[in-house]
């Protein structure tokens, strides 16, 4: 895995999101990630709950096999581990 491979998959994932989502839905997706990143930068470890409108956007993404596949590939490349449930 190289930074170029990660960038390529990240770019493909973003392209798929832009095809799948309306501009308003994409704004909700990006807004949620901005809130999450701000909390991480602040050292806040509490959960970042999604609003219902954000959850519906994430549900659309999860239901799209192309987007879900790219997300899984990106997670593998960046070694995002899910905590035990």
Position 71 pLDDT exceeds 60? yes
Look at residue 20 and tell me if it is in a domain.
yes
pTM equals: 0.83
Average the pLDDT over 57-82 and give the result: 89
Average the pLDDT over 58-67 and give the result: 96
* Number of folded domains that form the chain: 1
What are all long-range contacts of 16-24, with beta carbons under 8 Å and residues at least 24 apart?
A: 16/64, 16/66, 16/67, 16/70, 17/61, 17/67, 20/60, 20/61, 20/64, 20/67, 21/57, 21/60, 21/61
Look at residue 83 and tell me if it is in a domain.
no
Look at residue 12 and tell me if it is in a domain.
yes
What percent of the chain has a predicted confidence (pLDDT) above 70? 92
Range of the domain at 32: 3-77
């Amino acid at each position: 895995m190289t930074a170029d491979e990660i960038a390529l998959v990240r770019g493909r994932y973003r392209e798929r999101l832009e095809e799948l989502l309306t501009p308003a839905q994409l704004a909700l997706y990006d807004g949620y990630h901005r809130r999450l990143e701000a909390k991480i930068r602040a050292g806040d470890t509490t959960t970042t709950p999604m609003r219902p409108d954000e959850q519906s956007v994430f549900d659309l993404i999860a239901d799209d096999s192309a987007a879900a596949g790219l997300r899984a590939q990106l997670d593998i490349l960046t070694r995002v581990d899910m905590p035990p449930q």
